[in-house]
Amino acid sequence: MVILGIESSCDDTSAAVIVDGVLRSNVTASQKVHEEFGGVVPELASRAHQQNILPVVDTALKRAGVTKHDLSAVAFTRGPGLLGSLLVGTSFAKGLALALHIPIIDVNHLQGHVLAHFVTDQQSPITNQPSFPFLCLLVSGGNSQIVLVKAYNDMQIIGQTIDDAAGEAFDKCAKVLGLPYPGGPWIDKLAKQGDAAKYPFAKPAIKGYDYSFSGLKTSFLYTLRDMLQAHGVESIDELAERVPNLREDMCASLQTTIVDILMRKLKKAAQDLNIRQVAVAGGVSANSALRQAFIDFGKKYHWDVFIPPFAFTTDNAAMIAQAGYFKFLDHDFSAIDEVPYAKTTI
Ligand code: KG4
């Protein structure tokens, strides 16, 4: 069984091939075109997907050692994401499948992130996989959710952000500090040389398992504004000349606050539901402090923790092919007239 997975929901064009349940290739073209704008420009993203998709799919097939005629089905991200970007992957998948007389399988991008934990990769094998039910903290540029995963195809969001996503908080605060986009990896890097206790930022008081990051963003902004005023300067660069280790300390304090907010709710959910299998997924799961927090919580609360390899944290087609593989086993195929959706739940 040979499944081609295609991911094009945001600014990464990715294709992956899974043969008999084992990942053979995972090729991603990340779009550099957005860097100068400090965020993803949807129009440019769609055009870059159009340019990238054929060479990316071609390379994925070659690296997997298969041809298009070996394919059993094409799995593609149907949503959520940017509609113009999704349309490129969806249309490509349909065209290819029609030409080859094989089925298409639509995949929910969020479910894909969760199912990244089941990718069997010969290059970097995941030795242990979560068993059901487990909790998954899904944290990316657009989502912050606690998901109760009951089965491959049965997931329930039990908590989610009521405003910004965790990745958005990283990216927006990084932008204020004058760091490039996406800011999350930069904050992670600078935080390593910073004092995490230097700036105590506001933490939200939201009921249940929901998250909020907009108050933290404002608190971050006001701290900088007050320091600019106190030093009588107008730019972050001028302030950084007067305040030693400014960016590093701000990054470390922000990172520790975000991780603390995320882990508190997750701990509450794990305790309330009496679940000890706990996973993390999505772009922000590449964050070193969050990964360490998972290891620490695992030891402290006797959780089995599941942290994905770096290649499967940010958007990738391996997770889409994996979700497609499970659906193929269930003969869960899609109609040719199905359309992408910009917003959806899990
Ligand atoms: O899942 P993902 O690739 O895609 C979307 O949500 O579209 O997540 C991207 C997010 C960005 O906000 C990025 O800043 C964040 O993941 N991210 C990180 C790190 N690496 C990526 N955030 C914090 N620390 C990191 N090391």
Instruction: Give the distance (Å) from ligand 1 centre to CA of residue 175.
Output: 14
Q: Quickly state the pLDDT bin for 39 (edges 50, 70, 90).
A: confident
Burial zone of 14 (CB within 10 Å; 0-12 exposed, 13-18 middle, 19+ buried): buried
Examine the pLDDT at 141 and tell me if it is beyond 90.
no
Write down the pLDDT at residue 77. Answer: 98
Cross-strand pairs, 135: 148, 278
Examine the pLDDT at 194 and tell me if it is beyond 80.
yes
Q: Quickly state the pLDDT bin for 312 (edges 50, 70, 90).
A: very high
The rounded distance, in Å, linking the Cα atoms of 233 and 21 is: 58
Write down the pLDDT at residue 58. Answer: 98
Q: Quickly state the pLDDT bin for 189 (edges 50, 70, 90).
A: very high
The rounded distance, in Å, linking the Cα atoms of 320 and 75 is: 7
Examine the pLDDT at 185 and tell me if it is beyond 80.
yes
Instruction: Give the distance (Å) from ligand 1 centre to CA of residue 183.
Output: 8
Ligand 1 atom closest to Cα of residue 11: 7
Ligand 1 atom closest to Cα of residue 166: 12
Instruction: Give the distance (Å) from ligand 1 centre to CA of residue 42.
Output: 17
Contact 307, 285 (CB under 8 A): yes
Determine the residue of 10, 172, 280, 284 to mutate for testing ligand 1's pocket, defined as the one with the most ligand atoms within 8 A of the Cβ atom: 284
Task: Name the percent of the chain lying above pLDDT 70.
Answer: 99
User: Phi-psi region for residue 101, left (φ > 0), alpha (ψ -120 to 50) or beta?
Assistant: left
Write down the pLDDT at residue 13. Answer: 98
Average pLDDT over residues 194-198: 98
Determine the residue of 140, 186, 189, 343 to mutate for testing ligand 1's pocket, defined as the one with the most ligand atoms within 8 A of the Cβ atom: 140
Instruction: Give the distance (Å) from ligand 1 centre to CA of residue 68.
Output: 32
* Cβ(340) – ligand 1 distance below 6 Å: no
Ligand 1 atom closest to Cα of residue 168: 12
Q: Classify residue 180 by its DSSP letter.
A: P
Instruction: Give the distance (Å) from ligand 1 centre to CA of residue 69.
Output: 35
Write down the pLDDT at residue 99. Answer: 98
Q: Quickly state the pLDDT bin for 266 (edges 50, 70, 90).
A: very high
Write down the pLDDT at residue 34. Answer: 83
Ligand 1 atom closest to Cα of residue 142: 6
Residue ID of nearest Cα to ligand 1 atom 3: 314
Instruction: Give the distance (Å) from ligand 1 centre to CA of residue 172.
Output: 12
* Cβ(211) – ligand 1 distance below 6 Å: no
pLDDT tens, position by position, 157-167? 999 999 999 99
Quote the tokens at residue 17. Answer: 């091939």
Instruction: Give the distance (Å) from ligand 1 centre to CA of residue 34.
Output: 15
Q: Classify residue 142 by its DSSP letter.
A: S
* Cβ(287) – ligand 1 distance below 6 Å: yes
CA-nearest of 111, 119, 205 to 157 is 111
* Cβ(204) – ligand 1 distance below 6 Å: no
Residue ID of nearest Cα to ligand 1 atom 8: 283
Residue ID of nearest Cα to ligand 1 atom 23: 184
Instruction: Give the distance (Å) from ligand 1 centre to CA of residue 336.
Output: 32
Q: Quickly state the pLDDT bin for 330 (edges 50, 70, 90).
A: very high
Answer yes or no: pTM beyond 0.85: yes
Q: Is the peptide bond before 182 cis (omega within 30 degrees of 0)?
A: yes
What is the chain's mean pLDDT, rounded? 96
Q: Quickly state the pLDDT bin for 283 (edges 50, 70, 90).
A: very high
pLDDT tens, position by position, 108-118? 999 999 999 99
The rounded distance, in Å, linking the Cα atoms of 64 and 58 is: 10
Task: Name the percent of the chain lying above pLDDT 90.
Answer: 91
Write down the pLDDT at residue 251. Answer: 98
Quote the tokens at residue 113. Answer: 């992130």
